[in-house]
Every structure is written in structure tokens, then in C-alpha cells.
Amino acid sequence: MKPYVFVTRKMPEHLLSDLYEIAEVGMWEHEDIPVPSEVLQKELERADALFSLVSDPLRSQQLAKCPKLKVIANMAVGYDNIDVEHATNKGIVVCHTPDVLTDTTADLTFALLLATARKIPEATDYIKNDQWQQWSPYLLAGTDVHHKTIGIVGMGRIGEAVAKRAKGFDMEILYHNRSRKMETEQQLGAKYCSFEELLQQSDYVVCLAPFTPVTKELFDQQAFQQMKNSAIFINASRGGLVNEAALQEALEKGVIQAAGLDVFAEEPVRANHPLVQLPNVVAIPHIGSATVETRDAMVKMTVENIKKVLEGKPPLAAVNFKELGV
């Protein structure tokens, strides 16, 4: 019998052709609606492989009954939706899709920075709402990006790609990371500093760190208070790195100037979310890697990860290699 693979969201059929050749494939029928928990649980009980998204919770309770599951392939760089330790204890390989979305996410991150600094959404609405009656010197005046200081928290692949874009704007580049990146420093002129120094010196603080128990709510009230009053905060990583109540307070009281947010602690958010309601927030719906080219590449990589594990080969990218000896 062929192994059974369940895909948790509707994907383009032609991108799954390699799976159809080696497996029986089941797929949730909706593109925009997450698979219900009871459906996911039933599928886990019979699946040999799972094609998952970051919106699919795969905690210990979901993974408790999956006797045949060999691989969870997450169509994302992040995998904080998966209890990796529990999966590892059950011998399940956990895969993700790094690299293929690096430049696309960096583009979006810098676009979000520019849009927030230059009040692009507000300016667009200004015309759409028929408010443009005359020109004035300080009409929708934003903040310069060129020759300012950017502080990147999390200098992974995406952080390095954002730094490259910042260099093109003649920005001074500061970064904080678990470890120093000497090659990045040499190539881009980036300067390593402590988290506190980065907060105090940066005009733009960009969060690109992974979400872990250590980084949970890294940006709290104390962090925002250490930033410049003119600072702009950008988060294109995970919402859980931010204490949203502290960010709301900082924005309302002028502790920092503005924020651009692609991610939130609980998603999706509605229009009445307190941060979305603030005039100095640019909010977008977790679209960091959302281009057709990159989404297709992510699907293909997820398929290849599953295919290789089912064929007894090392996947392209697994997060629990060492523990499983893969």
C-alpha cells in the first residue's frame, strides 16, 4: 500500500504531482479556512506524513494519536506551531522551508519599514477619502530612512538580507544575535552590540528573531522605554516576541513614534484590535513571504521534504536532525 499524506490546506494540484506518484494524498478542501481540529485529529491517526502550515497547532495532544506519522513538513521557516520535542520523542521528523523565502521576506520587511516611516498607507487613504484639498510643506511629513540607524534583532538569513537592503540606503547597521556574525560584519559593515545598546541607539528596531521560550515577549515595557522617542518598531518575525499591551502603551504615550507589524500574538486579528486601531501603526496580515513565486517554491520544498523522508532519504531541511540521527 502507498503511504498516506494529508495536506492541511488546499494547494495547487500541479505542485503536488511528486506526492501523487508515491503516496495517497488527502487534502483539506479550503484555501482560506484552516482545517478543523477534529478533522486534523482524524487525519493524523492515519497519516504517514503531514503537510502543515504555521496556523496548524501540532502540540502534544494533537500528536498523541498518530501511530504511523513519520514526518511533519511545515510550509514555513518557523515551526513554533509544532511541539518539536514531543515529535522527536515519537521519532517524527520535523521539516521546514528555510532559504527559499529569505529575499522575499526581506523585501516585505523593508517595504513595511518604508511604508511606516513615510506614512504610505495614511497618504493613500488621504486621497481615497478626498482629503487632498491643497499642498502644504508638512503635509503627511514622515521620517527619513537613508543615513539613519537600523537595529536588527535576529541576524539570521532574513536579517542579513534586510541588512543588505539597509546598506543601499546608507544606513548604519547594528545587530543583536545569539552569536556574532563576523563575515556579515565584514561584508556589510554591521556592528554587533548588546540588546540594550541596540534599543538605545537605533532609529529603526527590526524584530527578526525566532520565537522561542527565551525570546517570548522580548519586547516588553522595559524594552520600549529604552528606545528613542522617535524610534520606529518593525516586527516581521512572530507576534509572540512582543508584549502587545506594552507596545500599545508605548505608541499611545509617545514612548516610541510608530510601528509596522506583519505579525500578531493571536492571528488572524480583526479591525477592532487595539494596535490596528492606532493611527501610528501600519498593520498587514502576515504576508512576509507572500509572492506567487515564493509560495510555489515553499510548496515544492515541503513536498520534497515529505518525499525524501518517505523514501528513507535525508530531507532538504529538518529541525531535529541531531536528535533523530537523520
Q: What is the mean pLDDT of residues 12-20?
A: 96
pLDDT at 321: 79
Catalytic residue among 160, 286, 295, 304: 286
Q: How confident is the model at residue 28 (pLDDT cuts 50, 70, 90)?
A: very high
Q: Which option is the CATH number for 102-283: 3.40.50.880, 3.90.110.10, 3.40.50.720, 3.50.50.60?
A: 3.40.50.720
Peptide linkage before 314 cis (omega within 30 of 0): no
What are the sequence ranges of the domains in the chain? Answer: 4-98+292-324, 102-283
The tens digit of pLDDT for each residue in 61-96 reads 999 999 999 999 999 998 999 999 999 999 999 999
Q: What is the mean pLDDT of residues 33-48?
A: 96
Is the pLDDT reported for residue 322 higher than 90?
no
Catalytic residue among 85, 196, 252, 267: 267
The crossing angle, in degrees rounded to 10, of helices 102-117 and 120-128 is 60
> What average pLDDT is seen over the chain?
96
The tens digit of pLDDT for each residue in 266-319 reads 999 999 999 999 999 999 999 999 999 999 999 999 999 999 999 999 999 999
What pairing do the DSSP bridges indicate for beta strands 49-52 and 24-27? unpaired
180 is catalytic: no
Q: What is the mean pLDDT of residues 24-47?
A: 95
**Same fold? 4-98+292-324, 102-283:** yes
Q: 4-98+292-324 is classed in which CATH architecture?
A: 3-Layer(aba) Sandwich (3.40)
Catalytic residue among 238, 244, 295, 304: 238
pLDDT at 326: 60
238 is catalytic: yes
Distance, CA of 298 to CA of 77 (rounded, Å): 9
H helix runs in the chain, sequence order:
17-22, 37-46, 60-63, 84-89, 102-117, 120-128, 157-168, 182-188, 195-201, 221-226, 244-252, 274-277, 292-310, 321-324
249 is catalytic: no
Q: Say which amino acid occupies 235.
A: N
